[in-house]
Amino acid sequence: MERYNFKLIEEKWQKKWDKNKTFLSKIDKSKKKFYCLEMFPYPSGKIHMGHVRNYTIGDVLARFKILNNFNVLHPMGWDSFGMPAENAARQNNLDPKSWTEKNISVMKSQLKKLGLSIDWDREISTCSPEYYKHQQEFFLELYDKGLVYRKENYVNWDPVDQTVLANEQVIDGKGWRSGAAVERKKLNQWFFNITKFSNELLDNLKNLSEWPNKVKIMQQNWIGKSFGCEVSFKINSKKDVKQINCYTTRPDTLFGMSFLALSVDHPVAKFYEKDPEFIKFKEECSRTGTTEESIAVAEKMGFKTDLEAVNPLDEKIKVPVYFANFVLMDYGLGAVFGCPAHDQRDLDFAKKYNLKITPVVKPDNTENFEIKDIAYTGEGKLFNSNFLNNLKVPYESINKTIDYLEQKKIGKRKTNFRLKDWGISRQRYWGCPIPIAYDENNNPIKIPKELLPVELPEIKKFNSVGNPLEEMEDWKKVKINGKTCKRETDTLDTFVDSSWYFLRFCSAKNLEYGYDRKDANYWMPVDQYIGGVEHAILHLLYSRFFMHALSYQNKDFNIKEPFKGLFTQGMVCHETYKDRNNNWVSPDEITTINGRKFLKDDSKHEIKVGPSESMSKSKRNTIDPEEIIKNFGADAVRFFILSDSPPEKDVQWSDEGMVSSYKFIQKLWILNQKILDKIKINQSNTVDNELKKITSQFIQNVEINIKNFSYNKIIANFHEVYSKLNKIIEKKIGKVDWITNYKDILIAMSPVIPHFSSECLELLKIEEKISWPAIDKKILIEENINIVIQINGKTRGIISTNKDISEEQLLSEIDKISKIKNYYKNKIIKKKIFIPKKLINIVVT
RNA sequence: GGGGCGAUGGCGGAAUUGGUAGACGCGUUGGUCUUAGGAACCAAUAUGGCAACAUGUGAAGGUUCGAGUCCUUUUCGCCCUACCA
């Protein structure tokens, strides 16, 4: 028998799809649209297994929707600005542009080998001027709407590389590359006013019913809405400080206040700038500032000022004012009042500096209430609180206290958000230039529309330090309205690029504007967005913001939520290996002898097998998809990557599993030939219900499982239908029967293994346009079913009987089975529970 | 510290609304065919037991005729977030 030559067949179909533009998408109002989008890749060099998984999941859905007569948009592009290109350019002495373009062409050819149903005519690349021109226009539009502004902000500055570092590039307070101690530096930077939409971004989450709950909760926490109030504290001091305001969610604990704590960046700090003790303290604070863990563990430290704060509820109570390392300037007002009895941080602080600890909340039904090492944050009643005593904590106490403070005009109810505005300036070359210039007084001036795009100047050589744009004197000069101005040399955060690319896909070639109104209104929102959960917060939130911002004050565009459905897939994992020198070893350097692993050229020293972790270059536990496709074919890889785990969970790469998927395709091929042979022999026009039932069952299962993203179960369905067909093949079934049923089975398989299915359908001489088969539900209703017989809730037998059997009939049937009867004869039957079509439970004593 | 998710054979995982626990795959074992098999095919495979049977979904309770599924308590693991006032 002829083997399945996946190489020839897959190439044949890929060429055909390409040539016929099978997946070209056009507006067609006679059909329902379906916008299927997977997160576009960063062109890092080669595709990895994560891409294979991501794009296979999306492709199965897109092809399924096409078969169901949806008008499907399934595009692909490149998130092609970003630091890796700069790093590669620095290392290898080349320019980021050609590096990126080379990677794109490699990865594009790799993706094509997967046989994806992509409309490549809509391909976009964020680093091309045709794309970022529109982004610059959007920037200016948002600028006009007041959603973009400039302010001074701290950055992580690497003094050796002369560059700004992202938070994740700061490791233990040092630059990841240079190893130099990172400094805090104040720079003028551009911001998007994302906080303007805090409430909307939060409230709209509840309408996103097709998003994973997990992601919605993460965004909710990130936005971090809290209810509380601002309280003013009178200050007694010789300095010019009359009042300090604090934000609090617990104003009801004011009578327990024993100090006031300020951030070292608080405006009041200016009075202490020359105090050497304060300078020392501030330095100490910034030293323990970088890693998250160290922050959490860091000891509470304070610097006592000569200020004195007055308790607004009782002017007789006066407390000291400290600067404290645990108060942050960028949350609330950079100042808090300390209530040690009911806040752990305050308690730690109070103990260290011997401050008063006055409990004001006690749990109900307690007599002797004392605070020792743990602050009490639970419910209860107020005490030690003068006129607030006996109020119920928290709801009543908080609200009544705020009412009182508002009445006395010493406090104001206030909602606070954790969300901060989005800093979009990056001191980098390989990004979208910010379309702004500065006049001689350093006032920002918009680059006029007709001068867009502001193109990135080409560079030949990449210096190892700084942003090369800074040194391009010719490029920096620009004439606006006859005035010579200096260009902004910062570029945009690459998250901006990916905040609207899905919109661009709707009208990828539109020259006038970033999108075409007609196209956007037809295709948007994305019906199903698929990607890694690592983008659950920033990318998704920024994209949501961007659509809100474009919709803002815009009567032509009102798409606020870009992603109707969201699916977050898990990672692809593989065992990790280390040699005897503790160096990571790649799986393809290893050979297995008698279940033990060795280096291929060293059979003496065994390889240490580590835990399975997500594939990464640094741990060298990656599997190259191109190699795998070359050896097993795209269909087999697609089949395997879906097989082992539910798509939302991590999947374990397994060589055995891959081989078994490959073999399964081969088995399907053999079966296909057997069926073709049968069709030739038996020309009769019979109707075979068994075959029809197998077919209908399969189609129904696959359909349900695709809809629920239970792709691993589809693979099980494939195995089941194979083994059933393989059994029924010897039965005398006529030509027509085989063709009608087998055709439907092949169509139902095609979303997962499109090349194989297409080839078999062609061999079956199916020429009409295929669509998802309708099933005859009646045939799936079984006349005879299994009914479970339980005695006292334990299964004692199963009866195969007519589905409509009555309780009495069933009981008399059971009575005939002595094995079961033994369990209840000579006993009193207390109760019988009969669930038609399912079971009967006889309760005896 | 806060929040979320999860725990089922040797492994990955199935199990609509509470109703035959372990689908499907991997691995393992036995067999057939082969010069050979790391190929193909067939069979077995939760645990204990010759068997009847008993026990089994992290642990302990509870609700129910019946619990992997619901409730309470608890242990462990993973993820996110982080001095959020």
pLDDT in tens, A296-353: 566 788 999 999 999 999 999 999 999 998 898 888 999 999 999 999 889 999 999 9
Sign of the four-CA dihedral A527, A529, A533, A535 = negative
DSSP A214-241: HHHHHHHHHH-EEEEEEEEEEEE-SSS-
**Mind listing the pLDDT tens digit for each residue in A246-267?**
999 999 999 999 999 999 989 9
Nucleotide nearest to A657 (CA to C1'): B26
Would you state the pLDDT for residue A753? Answer: 97
Rounded distance between C-alpha atoms, residue A596 and residue A590, angstroms:
10
Ranges of H-type helices in A459-557: 473-476, 494-497, 501-504, 517-523, 538-551
Q: How confident is the model at residue A369 (pLDDT cuts 50, 70, 90)?
A: confident
Rounded distance in angstroms from the CA atom of residue A536 to the C1' atom of nucleotide B80: 10
A798 CB neighbours strand B below 7 A = yes
What pTM value is reported for the model? 0.93
Residue with the larger pLDDT of the pair A812 and A75: A75
Rounded distance in angstroms from the CA atom of residue A597 to the C1' atom of nucleotide B29: 23
**Mind listing the pLDDT tens digit for each residue in A128-179?**
999 999 999 999 999 999 999 999 887 878 777 777 777 666 766 677 777 7
Most confident listed range (A58-67, A289-298, A327-336, A814-823) = A58-67
Contact in structure between A184 and A157 (CB atoms under 8 Å)? yes
Does residue A292 carry a pLDDT above 60?
Answer: no
Q: How confident is the model at residue A626 (pLDDT cuts 50, 70, 90)?
A: very high
* 3-state SS, residue A796: strand
**Mind listing the pLDDT tens digit for each residue in A517-530?**
999 999 999 999 99
Could you say which DSSP state residue A180 is in?
A: P
Token reading at A574? 């593989």
Phi, psi at A833, each rounded to 5°: -110, 120
Worst-scoring range by mean pLDDT, A277-281, A686-690, A744-748?
A: A686-690
Percentage of residues in chain A with pLDDT exceeding 70?
97
A200 CB neighbours strand B below 7 A = no
**Mind listing the pLDDT tens digit for each residue in A385-439?**
999 999 988 889 999 999 999 999 999 999 999 998 998 998 889 999 999 999 9
A1 CB neighbours strand B below 7 A = no
Would you state the pLDDT for residue A467? Answer: 85
Contact in structure between A180 and A174 (CB atoms under 8 Å)? yes
Rounded distance between C-alpha atoms, residue A664 and residue A59, angstroms:
21
> In strand B, which positions have an atom below 7 A from any protein CB?
1-5, 11-16, 19-21, 23-27, 39-42, 53-54, 65-67, 79-85
Sign of the four-CA dihedral A666, A668, A674, A676 = negative
Would you state the pLDDT for residue A793? Answer: 84
ipTM above 0.90, yes or no: yes
A245 CB neighbours strand B below 7 A = no
Q: How far apart are the first and last CA of chain A?
A: 64
Nucleotide nearest to A325 (CA to C1'): B83
Residue with the larger pLDDT of the pair A804 and A653: A653
Rounded distance in angstroms from the CA atom of residue A652 to the C1' atom of nucleotide B40: 27
- How many other β-carbons are positioned within 10 Å of the β-carbon of residue A712? 16
Residue with the larger pLDDT of the pair A831 and A150: A150
Token reading at A791? 């005695």
Does residue A282 carry a pLDDT above 90?
Answer: no
Q: Which of residues 317-356 of A touch strand B (CB under 7 A)?
A: 325-329, 331-334, 336-337, 343-345
Does residue A1 carry a pLDDT above 70?
Answer: no
Rounded distance between C-alpha atoms, residue A188 and residue A488, angstroms:
11
Contact in structure between A309 and A339 (CB atoms under 8 Å)? no
Rounded distance in angstroms from the CA atom of residue A652 to the C1' atom of nucleotide B12: 8
Percentage of residues in chain A with pLDDT exceeding 90?
63
**Mind listing the pLDDT tens digit for each residue in A766-809?**
888 899 999 888 888 877 788 888 888 888 888 888 888 888 88
Q: Which of residues 267-286 of A touch strand B (CB under 7 A)?
A: 285
A774 CB neighbours strand B below 7 A = no
A792 CB neighbours strand B below 7 A = yes
